[in-house]
Chain A
Amino acid sequence: MNKVLYIPFLFLSLLFLQVFILNNILFLGSINPYLYVAFVIFYPLKKERYLFLFLSFLLGLSIDFFSDSGGINAFALLFVAYIRLFFIRVIFKKTEQDYLLFNLHQESFGKVFNYVIILIVIHHFILFSLANFSTQNFSSVLLNTLYSSIFTLILFFLGSYIFRRKEK
């Protein structure tokens, strides 16, 4: 896909997918996937990071607008966006020179899996702790994080598999 249009397309499709479809799934009463984390995972690596951080913040905030949740999605997504570089350095052993050529599809599945699961769990944990906004019910925060992370993870790999086949 055209590189200029790729990011606005990713932004809008993830936003509407999350707000109108995924937020209404409520599997077993309360389990929702939060697939919009994929924005942070798919966003191309660049040295200049202002735009990336700002767009992550904006995507989270837009979802907050729709779901009346204050700023919890913005907070969680921005946090994951900021620490992404650290995990890329640790897991994939990439330096600044490799950023341009970096492509998730060319990495080994084990590494990608670790990378994705860490980002998703951190994001979900922050999201649910902030939504809870008190020290009570901490067990439900952990349970929600676990279930929703599994759900998001399955959807993420299904989705990325389908879209990769299409590009060929």
Chain B
Amino acid sequence: MQQIIYFFQKYKYFLFFLLLQSIALFFTINNNSFHKSKFISSTNTITGGLYEKFSQFSDYFNLKTQNEELISENEQLKNLLEKYNSIGDSTVTLSVIDTSKYNQKYICSKAKIIKNDYHRPNNYLTIDRGTAQGVEKEMAVINSKGIIGITEKSSSNYTRVQSILNNNSKINARLKNDTHFGSLEWDGKDYNTVQLHDIPRQAALKIGDTIITGGKSTIFPEGILIGRIKKIDIKNNNRSIDIQLFNDMSSLGYVYVITHLDKKEINTLNNSTDE
């Protein structure tokens, strides 16, 4: 008995150190797996609120680029609108609106990034929308130029987004002019370049081809822009494809969060076939 007390006396600081160290290690390991609950994140009221205050200042520096992006997006949307107007201008006019034909699948809602990371191996963003505004986990986050990430954890007013610049991120992607699909990952090196893996060998690839989201998951709708093929490496029958992102991940401002309305239905269907 005395031996034990003596032992504790001698190594009390070391034991205390080990205790705290194992707590830190536990958080670290927990943070590296996607589906576990996260304790340490910037979505809580204190850190989220402080980041929001700080981003109110730093927003002024980006006003010009934000405006330019908005104008170019407006231009794009106006052109689309013109296209639709010209369709409606034909001799046939639809008089009956059939709701089954206009089955809306996705809803966009805007959000603002209040914290952005792009230089670590695992990057996360924080946006200023949470469960109170209907943002939940596993929703797509995009902007006018392309994809940004997937929401991961929501508090009532803030949400943590797993950036595509994250070692754990895997996104279904395909070629724009082809239906072959692969999975989009990041090797942690350059924040403007991501990698496309597992694309079938028969797919014809050219440098400069556009890559878009594949729509095979319940998170991203099909056809959202990702980037251009920059380099194709062939190493022992394994093609690794570098993709230059359309988005500059180091300067992001306002984003859209996409809600998939049929997600529950698809998920229940998938789960029932698994059994």
Contact = CB atoms under 8 A, between A and B. Distances in A.
B27 A65 contact: no
Interface residues of B, number: 39
A70 B40 contact: yes
A71 B25 contact: yes
B119 A54 contact: no
A78 B21 contact: yes
B122 A65 contact: no
A140 B21 contact: no
Interface string A73-107: 01100110010000000000000000000000000
Interface stretch (B28-36, B198-206, B211-219, B221-229): B28-36
Contacts of A64: 27, 40
Interface stretch (A2-10, A131-139, A159-167): A131-139
A67 B160 CA distance: 11
A109 interface: no
Contact of B17 (A70, A72, A78): A78
Contacts of B124: 68
Contacts of B14: 82
B41 A65 contact: yes
Given A66-B42, A67-B42, A75 B121 contact: no
Contacts of B120: 69, 131
A125 to B, nearest CB: 15
A156 interface: no
Q: Which of B31, B167, B189 has most A Cβ within 10 Å?
A: B31
B42 A137 contact: no
B41 A57 contact: no
Nearest to B120: A131
A78 B40 contact: no
A114 interface: no
Given A64-B27, A65-B44, A70-B28, A53 B119 contact: no
B122 A131 contact: yes
Q: Is the interface of A mostly helix, strand, loop or mixed?
A: helix
A87 B189 CA distance: 35
B107 to A, nearest CB: 27
Contacts of B46: 65
Contacts of B121: 131-134, 137
Contacts of A65: 40-42, 44, 46-47
A29 interface: yes
Nearest to A49: B13
A70 B42 contact: no
Contacts of A137: 121, 187-189
A167 B121 CA distance: 41
A149 interface: no
Contacts of B17: 53, 78, 82
Nearest to A62: B47
A140 B191 CA distance: 14
Given A78-B20, A137-B188, A137-B189, A71 B119 contact: no
A32 B51 CA distance: 19
A33 interface: no
B8 interface: no
Interface string A110-136: 000000000000000000001111100
A137 B120 CA distance: 12
Interface string B112-142: 0000010111101010000000000000000
A26 B24 contact: no
Nearest 6 pairs of A and B residues by beta carbon: A70-B31, A71-B27, A71-B24, A75-B24, A68-B124, A74-B24
7 contacts: A20-B54, A61-B24, A61-B27, A65-B44, A70-B31, A71-B24, A71-B40
Given A68-B42, A82-B17, 17 more contacts: A29-B119, A49-B13, A53-B17, A60-B24, A64-B27, A66-B50, A66-B51, A67-B42, A68-B31, A68-B40, A68-B117, A70-B30, A70-B40, A71-B23, A79-B21, A133-B122, A140-B188
